[in-house]
Structure 1
Amino acid sequence: MFKRFPAIVKELLLIIGIYGLLAEVIVIIVTQDKIFYSVGLIIGIFLAFFMCVHMHISIEDAIDFGEAGAQKHISKTYGFRTLVVIITLCILCYFNTGSIITAIIGIMGLKVAAYLQPFTHKILQKYISKGR
């Protein structure tokens, strides 16, 4: 399944993963309740992965619709992603299983990945073009 994703999605997932590892190291170093904050961060990173893949699938599906249908489809899938994030954060808060703050920091990994993707793409293209 991973092979069918275009390069941009793979790059975004790579950046989210690296961001998650770096954030986890910071959480382990800085916090005293390491498990509580780590659980929140890991859930946030998984949500970022989910949102990235779901956006790709939604956009691919929207291409098959007409203009009005595509706009409606994108709006519905955006609402679904938002609902999943809100429900997950509410569950996290209700059961007090992880930090909401670190979960949001994990979710922000998608934003970081989106901003760093052009830079990462250039680096990966140089690496790939050298035949390594």
Structure 2
Amino acid sequence: MPDLNALIDAARDAMGNAYAPYSNFSVGAAILGPSGQIFAGANVENAAYPQGQCAETSAIGAMILGGDRAIREIVVMGGKPGDGLLCTPCGGCRQRLREFAAPNTPIHVCGPEGLRRTFTLAELLPHSFGPDNLDF
């Protein structure tokens, strides 16, 4: 099973391949699926701003394509080395993560130098609406 450093490295590599010509703010994400595979993604901006795609969304798409349907843990990486800022998932990505992650799923927020802080999904998205709300 890959360790946290492998996830951080995958997110760092993805961040290096981000397409962010408008904001100049590159983000990478790496998901560990239940199969043990790592799925990475980068943000992809678009001149029509709302048409861009977040790194977490790209990584989720790669996970689904790879055959996994759950997130065991995720790394989200953004910012400049040593700036100390937290590049947490945006609101839309928090909801996307909720679709595939349990409330206790670790979300590791990193800068290029490594781990800055770990949250659970429940900490970032308390009282969330998810698939279990639709069980009849």
Shorter-chain-normalised TM-score: which range? under 0.3
Q: Which has the higher strand share?
A: 2
Q: Which has the higher helix share?
A: 1
Given the two structures, how large is their TM-score scaled by the length of structure 2? 0.27
Given the two structures, how large is their TM-score scaled by the length of structure 1? 0.27
Which one has a bigger Cα radius of gyration?
1
User: Higher relative contact order at CA 8 Å, sep ≥6: structure 1 or structure 2?
Assistant: 1
